[in-house]
Structure 1
Amino acid sequence: MAIVVPKLKFSPPQILAIGYATLILLGTVLLMLPVANTTGRALPLIDAFFTATSAVCVTGLVVVDTGTFFNGFGQSVIMVLIQIGGLGFMTMATLLALVFQRRISLRERLLLQEAMNQGSVEGIVRLIRRVLYYSIVIESVGALVFTVRLAFDMPVGQAFYYGVFHSISFFNNAGFDLFGHFSSLTAYTADPVMNLAAVLLIVLGGLGFVVLSDLADLPRKKKLSLHSKLVLSTTGVLIAFGFVVILLFEWSNPGTLGRFGLGGKFWGALLQSVTPRTAGINSVDLTSLHQATQFLLLILMFIGASPGSTAGGVKTTTFAVMIGAMLAMMRGREDVVFFRHRLGRDRILKALTIILLALALIITVAMVLSVTEDHDFMLILFETMSAFGTVGLSLGLTTDLSTFGKILIALTMFSGRVGLLTLVYALKPKKDPEKYRYPEGKIIIG
């Protein structure tokens, strides 16, 4: 069984962009079918396209309620799109090649390197095997926990189906749910089992498979890589910071955490601290949050999770590098140092480029939507940030978007999932080698 790779001379970034676009088009066709929903009528093209894009880009923004509008077939299509989109279509193609014991070519390894955001092809197939193994194990355990808990609220068969769907959705940081009426986990705000399972699935999916592999090897190697240390420390700080701030801001808010006891406040604040990092589920009414809390969620959505994971955003390492560069400049030091390791100049420039590209995209999309959509700017900015970070949280704007707005948000989701640098590399012409360098000049900064 061969991995299907276009014969034309496309670069790895171009193939990845084309592959995700093809998957979205296939999902659009399937979701448009009358047999995919409970109404028996074809879903409009723009709504099917938006839903397929949201699923493939593991976002969770929806224009129709997943649990009540789509039937078992439609929900299964969404679940498969989430799984392929979360792990990457090249990962799934590699699975088929490994099953049929086919050798992975160098070109295919280069594609996997680009898809997994790795620096080299060394060990890439071994990493893919681990990705598939970790995904199966983690999603299976999550599905079992959800099934056992939900069996108290619904028939066992339905509980199993819900368990599988939500385990896949949460681990891939997709945010789709089947609880109906756009309710997400609001019925389980104080439930420790549902919240703990959801938080662990989201965090494990957002750490990145390189970090998971590093953690699995820790008993043998007795140490973690610099990347894993930076990801784990940044993730822990962001979760703790978000938890404390949300708890303080929403403690007495009757529309959110104010109506719960200590347990409900704890789990509600914890989940809402974790989920903006591209998971897209909520256990409290987001529209009732104080604006300060909503703004905090904007920041967390922009940062996102970690490289090589199922999540989006500019990534934790990018954010950490920018903070490190700022602190180094303030201290008058030339090097950005983490855990006694100096970062190369190319890493800092790449982080800066990603931050600026992301800000440029978000600002542009939000400005355009503020012209085309007759809504409060906070709703528009929140929707835009959610789409870019492939988060899926919304303040209620998604269902009211115009056709143009849906297309623009869908393209923003696509940009966030494929990656801005990948899209830039895919669209740019072939680079000619530099034949000379200009003399260094000096300007005044600040």
Structure 2
Amino acid sequence: MNKNDIFEIEITGTTDEGDGVGRAEGMAVFVPYALVGEVVSVIIVKVMKSFAYGKLLEVVKPSNFRIKAECEYFYKCGGCRFWNVEYEQELEFKRKHVEDCINRIGKINIDVPKTIGCESNKGYRNKGQFPVTDDGIGIYAQHSHRVIDVEKCIIQGEENPAVLSAVRDWMNECGVEPYNEEKHSGCVRHIYTRCGESGVMVCIVTRTECVPHGERLVEILRERVERLSGVLHNYNEKRTNVVLGKRFRTLWGEDYLVDSIGHCRFKLSPLSFYQVNNAQTKVLYDKVAEFAELSGNEVVWDLYCGIGTIGQYLAKDVKKLVGIEVVPQAIENAKENARLNGIENAEYYCGTAEELAPKLKGEKPDTVILDPPRKGCEESLLKTVAKTKAKKIVYVSCKPSTLARDLRILEDLGYKTVKVQPVDMFPRTHHVECCVLLCRT
């Protein structure tokens, strides 16, 4: 097999990222936008030792579940994966993916129920990150740092088109240059937005220490963005793929947002971790509460607590809440949010759970909440949790493969995986959130 060879292949499987998988000349071929059951014509674009990547040329025999993509950028953009398939099939793909990871990686045989779908697959994101280059302002193309210029991303909040338009006009009017990654020159690197009940926060990320004509930027944004509550500047001078630098300053308005999840309100700083889909976050947290089945007499540890969202959502039903988080600013936010919500039964500690758990005085936890980043939990942390002999662990995960690995470790440490529930927090993308209940055997 060589680059530019053309084959007609049947798609028999799907990768973790939602690409179709077929075979040609004995090799697996990965084909973006091809669906299981389809016969497609592909051109080979890259050949590896035991597999190849193909580009879809023609759908010879379409799937019964194929639909016309609603997003005009779908076949160019690297963000979404499933605008070309009926939503029920997307939910089934995510269910199967979770079940396969737990069975194959975790060596745990458990039936995974249907993924809980989202009422709307448009406009659900409350956070946006838009790179700015000579190519335009928008979203990265698949597996690339080439930017697709977009006027509107349909999974983003309704305020974002006005923000992008305002920044474009400001740059054109004032001669502000976009960032050039190769030369590490120019000014504007990213537009970063967050939307909440209290308004819209816009942050301009620049390579330069100041924002040229910043007053004019604020003026245009205030004219165009109805719910604008704050304009911030983030200074990121490093050669890096990390979007935000460490230095923020306020150009106008507030440097925070306030938002609600169910009965709780949360104050968000620009760097605060916060789930991007408000409606589904309540669904997820309700599932956590259902799995935890709290009576009001339990001590609950909320590890990787961030700004305190999950623990504070449960706080009214627990005797004592202990939150642990390694990021100092997040812990300060968690304490502030506890005051905002009138929660008096919570304590927060800054550091790693491995270090802090053995030092905590008082009662051991009855229930432990785990909500780690995509890389999952450190094995040392899981061993620390197991040593507490907590009756229940509720694990919230955004990556099925690392979840499955950690479930295997916890099972070997004396816990049994009892319930699994996928929740679609990110419609039309390949990502899926999961809530798992483990009980001590």
**TM-score for both structures, normalised by structure 2:** 0.30
Q: Which has the higher contact order (CA 8 A, sep 6+)?
A: 1
Choose between structure 1 and 2: higher strand proportion. 2
Choose between structure 1 and 2: higher helix proportion. 1
**TM-score for both structures, normalised by structure 1:** 0.29
